[in-house]
Structures are given as structure tokens and as C-alpha cells.
Structure 1
């Protein structure tokens, strides 16, 4: 598979049009939009925050600078971190979807090896014998304008992460196993995500290594090759809008669900400020994904004939609450009762 330069096959559109933003900061800004491929994610609805979109645009600009644009080498990679389920992966998928970029996602863990990333020899049937199968890094490098998403990058052992430093610098990939040199195709971009800031905590912003099992401290030389972006949960108002548009929730239900989610997250983040160093982490939160599923489960239960007040609690339990400890569940349901103005018990 040879690199094919398709970087000229694109349209130039306004950022306002592509990302549906009303921020005046992006009024005159333009961005390249490429023809979608089979590797381009499909994300129909996503609301970009101005702060996040600003850094994404800077990331895209840096990744596409011609060599020698500045005297110094500019970081071209982005590391996005934040609490579980706040939408980090979805953010990258939505960016790829809007710009038509192919995306290659590597789901990382403490078991990830360099062979997983770059490729290995595999037995492909008795008629084909052993065949070299490219990993996601090489597939990405051969695809112009593609995004490499290294999900849960703070789970990867430091020695494995260090093996990617050359790629992060934009150097060609040398595959000793096949005696092949792969030059990274034009316009390629790298995004890594994690729950911590790479140092075993979240820099005072919640979500410590204590509750994310397997989290590694990133080698500083690897971390130093990334710009950084912090993401967190939607505001109540944003989540209300999302519930109404994505699950057809009525305004009162959406407001109540978003209110409970905000209160749970405030406890989760607040009690995890310094837990990575010497504290006891609060173990439970509710992600955006779970709030959406709570709403949809509630809707189905009411259609099945469950009383709304019972359907709320049953849907919450089956979606996520039964993962919580008894004490946490009791406290959360007491808060829900206060929100709803009822006295229902766990």
C-alpha cells in the first residue's frame, strides 16, 4: 500500500458553517473539508464548546504547517484529558466527521505493545501463510489527512509510549520486520486521550489515578511532545438541550435529569481533587452517555406502562445506579427525591 497524496481534494469552508458555532472568534476562519471515506466517523449531532474548538483549530493548523514555517519545531499533537464519559473520544470523532478526515482509533491499555501499534506477522490461512498486518499507526501513516486516536493513552506503559516518540516528531516509520520505510502522509494528525494529566492525577480538576485502574505516569519526554486540552462534562443547560434533541425528553424531565447529573459530578470531581496524591477517591459518577440512556430507558418504561415516578428510579438503577455502593445509591436517590419533590426511598 503506497501513500497516495489526496491532500488537494478538499473544499474550503468557514468554521462557522462546518461546526455550527455562533462565536464571533470563528467568524472569518476557514478550514479544509475532505471527501469522507470508509474510515471517517459519522457523528450527526455534537455541540462544540468555543474553548475546545479553539484548541482543535490550533491542533489542525499546527499539524498542517509546512516544514520550517517557524525557526523552532512546533508541537503537532494533542493530548486531551478529563473525567470518564465527558465526551473526549466523541469530540475527536465529531471533529473528524465534520471535516471528512479518516480516523484510526487504537484502544490502549496496560497490555498494549508496540506490535499492537505498528503491526505484526500473522497466520492468515493455510493458503496465504504468514502475512504482515499493519497496526493502526501504520494504517494512519499511509492515509493522507487522517487522524490517529490513541484512546486511554495514560494506560500505556512508559516504554511502549516512548516507542512512538519518533512518530510524534513526524519522522518516517522504520519497520525492521519488513525492511520498509513509511513516510507519514501529508496532513496526518495525532490525538491522545486519557483520564489524568499524565502525572497520575488531574491537576486539581478531578479524576485521579486512584479510581482509574491501570493508569500510568507518562514519561516526560513522551508527554512533552503533546499540546494539552482539558475536557469536562456539559453544563446543565447544555445537557438539557442534548436530552431534548437526542432522546426527545420533555423539558421538565430533561431539567430534572441534568440537575441530578450535575450534583453527582460535583461530588465526584470535588472529592477527587487531590485523591491521586493522598486522598480517598469518590467512586461514582454519571457520564453523558448514561444520562442519555437513563432518559431513553425511562421513555421505554413509561411506554410499557410503568408509572413515571417509578420509571425514573428503575431506569436510573438499571442504567448506572446499581453499579454504585449502597451508601452512594441511597444518597443519590435522596437527592433525586429532593429534585422531584417526592419522598421515594431506595
Structure 2
């Protein structure tokens, strides 16, 4: 394995609790090097799943968080000045394609569409990446796989993948875990007891019922873990929940009061 990409290996086994057959499905897709889309709400475990699968497959994982300012050069590379003059530096997508890693583009719809089209030649039977600025055509390493993620319930019509892009991928849909499974995850990741973790999960499940009725998103598993960590550090549960769960997801006074009501229902006034 090339030393440039060896540093992207996931050394320690990430904690991941499967909720269905997503591990088996992804392993089969990787066997065919099928490009994959991971769809699901924010903070439900998509990135942790990718870390777990990269560790399980013993493949390097190069992750890039996409944003509206991201350019094609941020993906494929650019010429930069150094002590020896102008030199080409591969971008994360090029590194993965050239040396055989899994490239994970998180929240890919946040990138401009004129940027995401550069992945098209990598996601069909050509498996090539043109580097126009360098005049080079990179043929993807046999171990290369492209994976993207996004939250379909959150995106507007102007921020969605084109059909010409979607149809190049297989897809796995993620949801928040069932309450017992989510409780186990929160307890393990934050260090709080099962009783506290169950209360946090209960608040989250009630908040998710408000999606589309004042909230764009309910409280995520990630936010529950943040609250649990604060509680484990000695912060009072109500204060930890307000800081990590209620205040970040809404500025609306009525919604804040509703969330505070859920918190009081589990932890008292």
C-alpha cells in the first residue's frame, strides 16, 4: 500500500451498532466497487458507519465535508508553489482513486453541481478521473470506491443530486435507531447509565415528531451523545439538554418551549 494513503487507514475499531442489514449490503457493494449513496437524517450514524466499514474492510478512508464554496480543484488537486517552484498536489478524490482508498463525500449536495459532475467518469464502467489542468487521465485503482451521503428530507429542490448522478449509485437508507438500540449507543458513547441514556432518547423521539411542524430536524443521536458527555462531566441534566439538544436546533420561542417541556417531562422542572 502506498505510504501516501496508508495514513488514512482506520486503526481502531469504531463503535457501530447495526440497525438492519446495512453492513452486509455495503460489503457486497464494495465487492463490486459499486458507487454508493448513504441517505438519512443528520447525526444518525452515516459517517460512523463508513468508518466502521473502512476498518472492517481494512481500506483507507478519505473523508471530505462538502460545502457550497468547494471547487473542483478542492476535489482533484491544484498546482501550488513551494520551495522548488510550482508543483501539482493531488486532491483527496485523486489520492483515493490513484492509490486505492474509499473516498467519502459527506453532504455532497452542498457542493455546487458544476463541481459534482466531475465524479461521473469515476462512477461508470470507465472508472477514470480526468485531471484537465495537468493533462492526465487517472485510471482508478482496483480498490477504489466512491461513497457520498446526504439528507434527502432536508434538501430543497435546488439542492439535490441530478438524476444523471443518482442513477450511477446504489443506495442504503439510514434512520435513527430504535429506542433500545439508540439507548445502548448513547450509554456507550457518553458514559452515562442506561437510565439517563433512555431519558435522553425519549426526549429525542418526541422531538422528531415535530419534524415538519416547526422543526426542520429532530434531535439527533449525535446531540444525545453530546448531552450525555456533559452529564457524565457533572453538568445538571436539564442544563446539558438545553445546551446540547434544545437550543442548537431552533431559534423559535414556541419550539424551544416545547422542547423544554419534553426535557422537564423526563428530568423534572
Q: Distance in 1 between matches of 2:158 and 2:64?
A: 16
State which of 225, 240, 243 in structure 2 corresponds to 1:318. 243
State which of 229, 234, 238 in structure 2 corresponds to 1:301. 234
Q: Distance in 2 between matches of 1:250 and 1:281?
A: 31
Deviation at 1:284?
A: 4.6
Check the 8 A contact 1:162/1:219 in 2, yes or no. Answer: no
1:167 aligns with 2:122: yes
State which of 75, 78, 83 in structure 1 corresponds to 2:36. 78
Q: Distance in 1 between matches of 2:76 and 2:66?
A: 13
Check the 8 A contact 2:61/2:102 in 1, yes or no. Answer: yes
Q: Distance in 1 between matches of 2:16 and 2:168?
A: 28
Structure 1, unaligned runs of 5 or more: 6-35, 64-75, 197-206, 272-279, 303-310
Q: Distance in 2 between matches of 1:215 and 1:94?
A: 32
Equivalent residue number for residue 208 of structure 1: 154
Q: Distance in 1 between matches of 2:117 and 2:6?
A: 31
Q: Distance in 1 between matches of 2:88 and 2:201?
A: 49
Q: Distance in 2 between matches of 1:300 and 1:180?
A: 53
Check the 8 A contact 2:130/2:136 in 1, yes or no. Answer: yes
Q: Distance in 2 between matches of 1:151 and 1:191?
A: 8
1:152 aligns with 2:117: no
Could you say what secondary structure the match of 2:209 adopts?
Answer: helix
Q: Distance in 1 between matches of 2:253 and 2:13?
A: 36
Q: Distance in 2 between matches of 1:284 and 1:47?
A: 22
TM-score by length of 2: 0.89
Check the 8 A contact 1:77/1:225 in 2, yes or no. Answer: yes
Structure having the larger proportion of residues in helix: 2
Q: Distance in 2 between matches of 1:327 and 1:172?
A: 52
Check the 8 A contact 1:118/1:134 in 2, yes or no. Answer: yes
Check the 8 A contact 2:14/2:48 in 1, yes or no. Answer: no
TM-score by length of 1: 0.71
1:54 aligns with 2:24: yes
Give the RMSD, CA atoms, in angstroms.
Answer: 2.3
Equivalent residue number for residue 11 of structure 1: none
Equivalent residue number for residue 67 of structure 1: none
Q: Deviations over 1:134-175 (max 9, x none)?
A: 01111001223x101011111222222222210112433232
Does 1 or 2 have the higher relative contact order (CA < 8 Å, sep 6+)?
2
Q: Distance in 2 between matches of 1:322 and 1:291?
A: 13
Q: Distance in 2 between matches of 1:184 and 1:242?
A: 36
Structure 2, unaligned runs of 5 or more: none
Equivalent residue number for residue 137 of structure 1: 93
Deviation at 1:320?
A: 3.1
